[in-house]
Amino acid sequence: MGLRIGDTAPNFQADTTEGKIDFHEWLGDSWGILYSHPADFTPVCTTEIGRTAQLKDEFAKRNTKVAVVSVDDVKSHNEWKKDVNETQNTTVEFPIIGDENRVVANLYDMIHENASATATVRSVFFIGPDKKIKASITYPASTGRNFAEILRVIDSLQLTAKHQVATPADWKFGEDVIITPAVKDEEIAAKFPKGHTIIKPYLRTTPQPE
């Protein structure tokens, strides 16, 4: 059975394009994203690695570190980085993990044998500062990830970790949020001074707290 929300993200030590890391130590007090790509020198992955590098400032603004894993070795990763930097007009500075023995891929259940016995699917794990898995998304190898959605999920996770709110369908940063059922009506004014709207007794909205 794969990892679930609330599970501790497995720790590991690995060689990467940025040197050897202990994953939990490397994360420190930051939020983290760990995602997999099927192989080096492949077209969709090249765009994804490039997009991650282009969003460096967006991840930093969210106190979020990103690491990538595939079943290729670090030497291959470093050669491939040159192509990514050239074709995507960027500079890759985050760690790409060498996992030729599939240690990390197996820890995180990234190889789905009905899809491929050797290549990883496009898994995304969102990890909190407490090293717990907060969310995960899985795409097939043929579908490139939506990085706007990845950033949106981080924004939602960080907001809801701090306040007693949830984010509605299609929510974007800055839009109204939902007050969770755990907050009693008489508590709302003190907790959410920006005001609130009662649509139904179970559906109460308020401007985003931050």
Neighbours of 65 (CB within 10 A): 18
CB-count exposure of residue 148 (10 Å: 0-12, 13-18, 19+): exposed
The catalytic residue among 14, 33, 45, 84 is 45
Catalytic residue check, 108: no
Catalytic residues: 45
